[in-house]
Amino acid sequence: MFEQMKAKQVAIVTGGSRGIGRAIAVALGREGFDVVVNYARSAQSAEEVKAEIEKSGSRAHIVQADISVRQDRDRLVDETIKTFGQIDLLVNNAGVAPDVRADVLEATEESFDRLININLKGPYFLTQRVARHMAERRQGKIINITSISAYTAHTHRGDYGVSKAGLAMMTQVFAARMAEFGVHVYEIRPGVIQTDMTGPVKEKYDDLIFNKDLTPIKRWGQPDDVARAVLAIAKDYFPFSTGEVFNVDGGFAMRRL
């Protein structure tokens, strides 16, 4: 008997050009997914990710799109379907931190709007669009990359925390709605991960991790730690779970005495 050839699966990774998204896109490529690498501004980095995916024998396609802009989101979906025919996995990874870590008593409405638009409204309506496609095909998975900030109050990043808490609820809403179509929705909650985003606060977190017992596992998280969690879901190791939260945080979420 010949083993049945498994059909190619297609993934969109938003913010796939750098950091966590880059690790996810490359890991999915290695697992045999065709990957759409979305980015906003880093064209050169996106090209590098594409080349790395292609080296592993999978196909990659780059789509520049600002996920906070509706026309860009539509183009991202349309181009993916035109290029690869379908979407099996959406990873809502793209996200930004506030430009200034301002006290919640001082932080601006402009910063709030920027974070909500990119970190929450963009993924919300991108997911709505992709979910309709997945409902028609009666299959698919959606993974939202939130943060420990979804439940950890930080007085100098209120807008970021609110956007991530919203993304956590969004996971539940779509998980509840999409189960009847065989589409499962998951949240991955990374802790402190070493990327460009945390570059400006490296010293602060070095001190917290190595001197102040921030986490039981005393090291920086790496983008690949998050990519592995994505792979476990993408490879269907959680078929009886949806709306589930996966902490990838070195044990940060545990209450300890």
* 160 annotated active-site: yes
The residue assigned the tokens 């945080």 is: 249
Contact in structure between 160 and 113 (CB atoms under 8 Å): no
Lay out the sheet containing 10-13: strands in order across.
60-64, 34-39, 10-13, 89-92, 140-145, 183-190, 245-248
Site string for ligand NAP, 142-181 (x = CB under 6 A): ---x-x----------------------------------
Residue 84 makes contact with ligand NAP by CB under 6 A = no
Contact in structure between 12 and 38 (CB atoms under 8 Å): yes
Residue 45 makes contact with ligand NAP by CB under 6 A = yes
Select 99 or 196, whichever has its Cβ closest to ligand NAP: 196
Residue 222 makes contact with ligand NAP by CB under 6 A = no
Site string for ligand NAP, 96-135 (x = CB under 6 A): x---------------------x-----------------
Q: Dmax over Cα atoms in the chain, in whole Å?
A: 68
Phi and psi at residue 102, to the nearest 5°: -95, 145
Residue type, 5: M
CA distance 40 to 46: 9
Contact in structure between 11 and 88 (CB atoms under 8 Å): yes
Select 136 or 207, whichever has its Cβ closest to ligand NAP: 207
Residue 196 makes contact with ligand NAP by CB under 6 A = yes
CA atoms within 13 A on the CB side of 86: 15
Residue type, 89: L
Among 28, 53, 67, 77, binds ligand NAP (CB under 6 A): 67
Window of 62-70, 102-110, 133-141, 151-159 that interacts with ligand NAP by CB under 6 A:
62-70
User: CA 190, 28, 46 angle in degrees (round to 5)?
Assistant: 85
Window of 10-18, 27-35, 81-89, 173-181 that interacts with ligand NAP by CB under 6 A:
10-18
Residue 9 makes contact with ligand NAP by CB under 6 A = no
Residue type, 199: G
Residue 232 makes contact with ligand NAP by CB under 6 A = no
Residue type, 237: Y
Select 21 or 140, whichever has its Cβ closest to ligand NAP: 21
CA distance 73 to 78: 9
Site string for ligand NAP, 15-44 (x = CB under 6 A): x-xxxxx----------------xxxxx--
Q: Terminus-to-terminus CA distance in the chain, angstroms?
A: 57
Residues forming the site for ligand NAP (CB under 6 A)? 14-15, 17-21, 38-42, 45, 66-68, 93-96, 118, 145, 147, 190, 192-193, 195-198
Active site residues: 160
